[in-house]
Structures are given as structure tokens and as C-alpha cells.
Amino acid sequence: MLCDHCRERDAVVHLTQIVENAVTQLHLCEKCAAAKGIETTIAMPKHPLGDFLHAAQYPVSPAAGDQTRCAYCETTLRDFRASGRLGCAHCYTAFEGALRELLRRVQGGAKHAGREYTAPVVAGTERETALATLRSQLQQAVVAEEFETAAALRDQIRALE
Amino acid sequence: MTLDLSLLPDGGMPWITASGAHADIVLSSRVRLARNVAGFAFSPRARDGERLLVLQQVREAASHVDLLSQAVLLRLDEMTANERRLLYERHLVSRELAELDAPTARSGSAVLVGEEAALMVNEEDHLRLQVFRSGFDIGGAWERAGRVDRELGATLPLAYHREFGFLTSCPTNVGTGLRASVLVHLPGLVLTQEIGKVLTGLQQMGLTYRGLYGEGSEVVGNFFQISNQTTLGRGEDELCDHLERVVSHVISREEEARRVLIRDAGYIIEDKLWRAYGTLRYARSLGVDEAMNLLSGVRLAVGLKLVAGLSVYTLNKLLVYSQLGHLSLAEGRPLTESEAGLARARHVRGVLAGEGSSA
């Protein structure tokens, strides 16, 4: 369909106008629509992660290469680029340099300005009780041959010790 | 397990009653907080054992939280695909947690449903706390979500970094982990073709929009879910206030558009809306998108007071109960898409006949 106005270019804007209860249709090309001051760009919702991953294609620092690996969960920067997901809290430290710059671009800032938080400290007798519970759970898991649970419990015990 | 939805307070849908402010335009207001438990890999990377331990610790911590102490625990890893779909259709779990296409959900996937707050466990993050409110009430949703968050975090150690804030699996949620959203119905702005400008404006104001079922869902039936795009660099109150201010403005634009439609094209609109009502009242088969679009027309007619005797509450229920999972539940067996079309039309006819609307 050609533009109603210039009759040269394809009409891409289809405008329905209601004037005194009569409906008229106007078909315009982008240029003529713009000349008439009609808004033509309904920007598509941008997926924030799309921007992020795009930015991640170009690491700011050459040192922050694909092989950088989180020591805790073994996620690499390459994994992160492929999935857009970090593996654990420690990844934020492992990839800190690259992340800070990327967060600035995607989030418009890299500094938390919300609620401050201090995790409850498991101390003294509470810690001992927690350790005892975890150790007994570990023993049960080993007996039941639930090795994944056992491995997770072992990590927790180490973290507490 | 057999899922018994009657055990859930308000069916898990406190928003559905249409009792809040601007309920004909705003279906619901929601605040969601993403949190992770310290000491475990994030859920997608965690081993099954870790995911189960996370669930165990979260249950223990939630039992000390005022708004969650009486919550019902639903284990998605013990449910059929259709049971998981029901929770998804009620907005209680995300598409990701429901894993609609998988025969079983991953170990430890669960949701705790309380009267005013719900907690998804082992989604992309260990915890996704959600508070829904009927109508336009971001402040009420944030007040409750903030309270639950503080009480949970007092006994459950959460992953937090001094510079980056609350740590999340996806960096687009890091910081406050807060996503405030408002589900709005904007047929006036669509019909007057003002919607493009409004949506462009939202993006310039740092907000974004999605469809009825959130991330990845298409806009159908003129329902838009508007939310903050960024989670870092601004505080929770500021993010919520900003969304509230902008959405207030969108609501007045929608009200203005409706006035213009009635003034300049009254009989055209009235005809269009009664045709939508007629189709819903008498059709023998309805596709899901078709039903959503026609319900949008009827919702507008109720808002404009063209139709009497039909409540927004009924229309909210129709949005949920005409989805595939709920129709399958009512029929007592999983339905194919074409069977669902017949069942949907039958259900909608029954409800509209019961409400007895008049011109």
C-alpha cells in the first residue's frame, strides 16, 4: 500500500481518526507521518538482559577474560556470558571489575542505595547447636547414601567452622 | 500430592476482589523482592541437596515471620504439570518455577502462600517474595514486603554485598532486588492510539512494560504490567514512589481517553463493546487470546457504566478461570487446545448468564 500523502513510499503508519463520529483511515509512510508530527516509534520493550549481554560481549578490561573462574562455584565469565546468570554470591567478587562497569551501563549505577543489611551472626552456643544439627544431618545423609545432600551439608559445616 | 486450592487463603489471589482503588483500571499492584541465602550456590547452579536444604531453612525462618507463619507450603516438585500450571495462572509462581513443559519440577521448587504475602523458593533466586494488593496500592504492597523481608533476614542469613546490595542470580535484579509492578487495563489509550506515546514515555522514565503474565508474555486484552526497570542506585521508597507517580499519570491519561471516546465516538464504542459482550455471551468456542480481548471490551463497558449488573470482581475471576489449567481442573481432565475452546465458551456463557446484565 502506498502512502496517501506522497504516493511514492510504502505506507507503514495506519492512522484511524474519528471526526464527528465518522471514522477515516489514513495510511502514511514514515517520512510523511513524521512531517505531520505523528508519533511513529512505538519502541519495543527492551529486554534489560539483552543490553547487558551485549555489553558483556565487550569486556572492559582485557584481564577480565573468559577464563576468569569463581573459586566457589566454578562458574567462568564465559558461562556467565552464555547464560546471563551468575552462579553464586562469590561470583560478584570474582568478576567484580567487569561487573561494576556493566552494572553502571545496565542499571545506571553500581552502588546500592537501598536498605542496608547485616546478616545474623551465628555465634557461641547458637553456632555450636547449628554445627551439631548439621553434623547429625550429614551422618543421616551418608547412611541414606544421599551424597548430594551430604556434600552440601559438608560445605555448610566448613563455612561455619 | 494432590493440590487443594481451597486450602489457600483467598485462593492465593488477594488482588482478585477488585476492592482496591481504581480497580476497574488497575487489576493489581505487586512488590517482589529477590533474595538469596548466604552459603549456597544460586538455585540454577545448586545441587539438588542444596536446594532441599535451602527449602528447609526458608521454612524454618518463615515460621517466625508474622505474615508467613500460617502460610501453606506447596511443593512444586511433587506436583503434576497441570497443578503447577494452576499456580502459574494465579500468578503465584513464575513460568520459570512452574516449568510447564517439564514432567517434574526440580527438587526443592516450592511456594509458601500466606494471606498477604507469598514466597517462591528455588526460582532463579532462592527467594522471591511477592505481595499482591487489589487495585492501585504500591505503598501497601511495599510496606508488607519490607516487613516480611526484615523479619526473614533477621534469622536467615542473606547474600549481601556492601557495594552491590542484595545479590541475585541475574545482575538486572541486584541491589534492592525490588520489582514493583502494576497491572493496568488501558483500552482507552489503545483505541485513541495514544498508547505508543505513553509506552515510549514510560521507557524514558526508567520504567518498562510486559503482558498479563509478566516476563516473556505478550500484551493481550490491553493489559499492561508496568514496572521499574532498574534495581540498583536508588532506594526502595524512591523506586516505589516513582512508579506510583508515573502510573497515577497513566491512569488519568486513560480516564481522559475514555471521556474522549464517549464524547467523540459514543455510539461506535457502545456498539463495539456490546458486540464483545454478545460474542462472550453466546459463542460456542473461544480461543484464549480471543477471550482476553473480548473480556477487555466488556471490562471497558463496565468501567464506562454501559453495562449494569456485572462486577469487576467477576471479570477478574473470568481472566483466571478461563485459562487452560483452570478449565482442565473444572472438567476433571487435561484438555487439548480445541477442547479448551469449547470449555472456555461454556464457562464464560454460564458466568455471564448468571450475572444477568442489562443495557
**Separation between Cα atoms, residue B340 and residue B327, nearest integer Å:** 7
**Separation between Cα atoms, residue B139 and residue B119, nearest integer Å:** 19
Q: Kindly write down the DSSP assignment for every residue of B39-82, as one continuous string.
A: TS--GGGS-HHHHHHHHHHHHHHHTTSGGGTTPEEEEGGGS-HH
Residue in A with minimal Cα distance to B224: A45
Q: Which residues pair with A73 in a beta bridge?
A: none
Distance from CA of A87 to the nearest CA of B (A): 6
Q: Which three cell numbers stand for residue B165?
A: 546490595
Is B263 at the interface with chain A, CB within 8 A? no
Is B181 at the interface with chain A, CB within 8 A? no
The model carries a pTM of 0.81
What is the DSSP secondary structure assignment for residue B336, as one 8-state letter?
A: P
Which pLDDT does position A135 carry in this prediction?
85
Q: How many CB pairs under 8 A join A and B?
A: 181
Q: Which three cell numbers stand for residue B353?
A: 448468564
**Separation between Cα atoms, residue A152 and residue A130, nearest integer Å:** 15
Residues belonging to chain A: 161
Which pLDDT does position B159 carry in this prediction?
96
Pairing of strands B207-210, B178-185: unpaired
| Contact across the interface for A113 and B200, Cβ inside 8 Å | no
Helix (H) or strand (E) holding B32: strand B26-35
Which pLDDT does position A11 carry in this prediction?
76
Distance from CA of B286 to the nearest CA of A (A): 28
Q: Which three cell numbers stand for residue A17?
A: 481518526
The segments of chain A whose pLDDT lies below 50 read 40-48, 58-64
The segments of chain B whose pLDDT lies below 50 read none
- List own/partner pairs for A148-152 with CB under 8 A and 24 or more apart: A148/B47, A148/B48, A148/B49, A148/B50, A149/B48, A149/B49, A149/B52, A149/B53, A150/B49, A151/B47, A151/B49, A152/B40, A152/B46, A152/B47, A152/B49, A152/B50, A152/B53
**A107 interaction partners in chain B (CB closer than 8 Å):** 171-172, 174-175, 230-233
CB A11 within 8 A of CB A2: yes
Q: Give the angle B239-B241-B243 at the CA atoms, nearest 5°.
A: 70
SS3 (DSSP) at A156: helix
Provide φ and ψ at B53, rounded to 5°. -65, -40
ipTM of this complex = 0.87
Q: Could you tell me which of B90, B138, B130 has the C-alpha nearest to residue B114? A: B130
How does pLDDT run across B174-190, given as a tens digit for each residue? Answer: 999 999 999 999 999 99
Nearest CB to B229 within list A48, A100, A118: A48
How many CA within 13 A on the CB side of residue B95? 7
Q: Give the angle B60-B232-B253 at the CA atoms, nearest 5°.
A: 105
Helix (H) or strand (E) holding B149: helix B138-155
Which pLDDT does position B168 carry in this prediction?
97
| Contact across the interface for B171 and A86, Cβ inside 8 Å | yes
Residue indicated by cell numbers 492501585: B136
% of residues, chain B, pLDDT over 70: 98
Listed in sequence order, the residues at least 6 apart from A59 whose beta carbon sits closer than 8 Å to its beta carbon are: A65, A77, A98
**B208 interaction partners in chain A (CB closer than 8 Å):** 45-46, 48
